[in-house]
Amino acid sequence: MHNGATLDRPVPGAARTPFGTRVSRWVDSRLGLDALSYPVPRHANTVFYTLGGITLFGLVVLIGSGIYLAQFYNPQPVGAHESVGYIIQSVRFGALVRSIHFWMANLVMITMLLHMARVFATGSYQKPRELNWLVGLALFGTSLGLVFTGTVLKWDQEGYEALGHNEGMGKLLGGLGTWFTAGFTRSVPILSRLFIAHVAILPAILILFVIGHFALVKHHGISGLPGQEAEGDMSDTQVAIVEEGRSSFASHLRHLVGWGLLVTAAAGALSLLFGSPLGPLAAAGPERTKPPWMFLPFFSLENLFGLKSLLWAPVILFLLLALVPLVDRSPAKALRGRRPILAAGTVLAVALIGLAVLALTTAAKTHLGGM
């Protein structure tokens, strides 16, 4: 005969399941987290193949810190610069959160560029991942838009000159560019509209592209290493799992979070050491500042060819990048067969870095008709 109390009691001598394991089993069975344990090849856990995930981790930190800053920022031209000063001096943790937002934005751009370089170098944009390369480019463009609008929000000299370029380009675009100019509407200042772009429009676009990007990564599986090609019914991911042995996506997530925390710690350390710059209130006059580093190549082109180059240079750059999967259709990802495209990519990267270095060593010229 049994009663309930006897059944609940542990059998004497039997090993008890550790508390942590019981909790994680309970959570797994309620949320279905074991679905995350699907197999991935071991190389997915290397840092080179985790750079996209690290970028996502950085984006989450940017959204969190951005939401905090938005509580205190005033997107009106009269109060904007003063409110940034208020965040730095009077808001609890304001200076730290603002600096983390600034440094994380820089680190995210670096991890994104490294991710793109890895995908390029390993030929991971090739069939069947061509469209995901294009979605990646859209993510890159949207991120540049976020950096650009964020720079304007400070409403210091750098932000003011960035806005001047925004308007200059808007005018060059004619009717299509009206949104980028103050003349679009009399009811809302352009600074407030760029604020809305920074906190709502561009993040919404970014999140939609991120969802699409991740859905495609899940659909195709992570690419095999160069040399691990699809064979018969097996995808390159499956070939890689057979050759290297399997890990699981849950384990990949743990690596990703580890790296993400490390990058966040780096952003924290940079924030404590250097803070985030805020120049004096904007004043009309000749251009004096240089843009953030990711726009430096365009600054040089503008110095060499005038404001118009800010329209055609990014278009040419994005077109060249978009053509990559069309131009390189070699059946294998192996480096040897892809020498021409790798050489072209290297030339482009060296040219962009050269233009950025040139920008660091030259003074700004006036392009905006003496703002």
Are the beta carbons of 223 and 124 closer than 8 angstroms? yes
Residue carrying the six token digits 């503008």: 302
Per CB under 6 A, 139 contacts ligand HEM: yes
Fill in the per-residue mask, 225 to 264: x = in contact with ligand HEM (CB under 6 A), - = not in contact: ----------------------------------------
Q: Beta-strand (E) ranges in 96-163?
A: none
Q: Which of residues 46-75 bind ligand HEM (CB under 6 A)?
A: 49-53, 55-56
Q: Which residues pair with 231 in a beta bridge?
A: 234
Per CB under 6 A, 195 contacts ligand HEM: no
Per CB under 6 A, 111 contacts ligand HEM: no
| Closest to ligand HEM by CB, 98 or 115 | 115
DSSP letter, residue 275: -
| Closest to ligand HEM by CB, 53 or 345 | 53
Options 223, 271, 276, 300; binder of ligand HEM; rule CB under 6 A: 223
| Closest to ligand HEM by CB, 128 or 275 | 128
Q: How many residues does the chain have?
A: 371
Residue 272 neighbours by CB distance under 10 Å? 12
Options 119, 144, 197, 199; binder of ligand HEM; rule CB under 6 A: 119
Residue 227 neighbours by CB distance under 10 Å? 14
DSSP letter, residue 187: S
Tell me which stretch binds ligand HEM (CB under 6 A): 26-34, 43-51, 188-196, 355-363: 43-51
* Side-chain half-sphere CA neighbours of 150 within 13 A: 26
| Closest to ligand HEM by CB, 107 or 222 | 222
Per CB under 6 A, 310 contacts ligand HEM: no
Tell me which stretch binds ligand HEM (CB under 6 A): 35-43, 157-165, 216-224, 328-336: 216-224
d(CA 180, CA 167): 6
Are the beta carbons of 202 and 145 closer than 8 angstroms? yes
Per CB under 6 A, 41 contacts ligand HEM: no
Per CB under 6 A, 132 contacts ligand HEM: yes
Alpha carbon distances (Å) from 56 to 51, 70, 111: 9, 21, 10
Reading phi first (left if > 0) and then psi (alpha if -120 to 50, else beta), residue 132 is in alpha
The residues of the shown chain that bind ligand HEM, judged by CB under 6 A, are 49-53, 55-56, 112, 115-116, 119, 124-125, 129, 132-133, 136-137, 139-140, 143, 210, 213, 217, 222-223
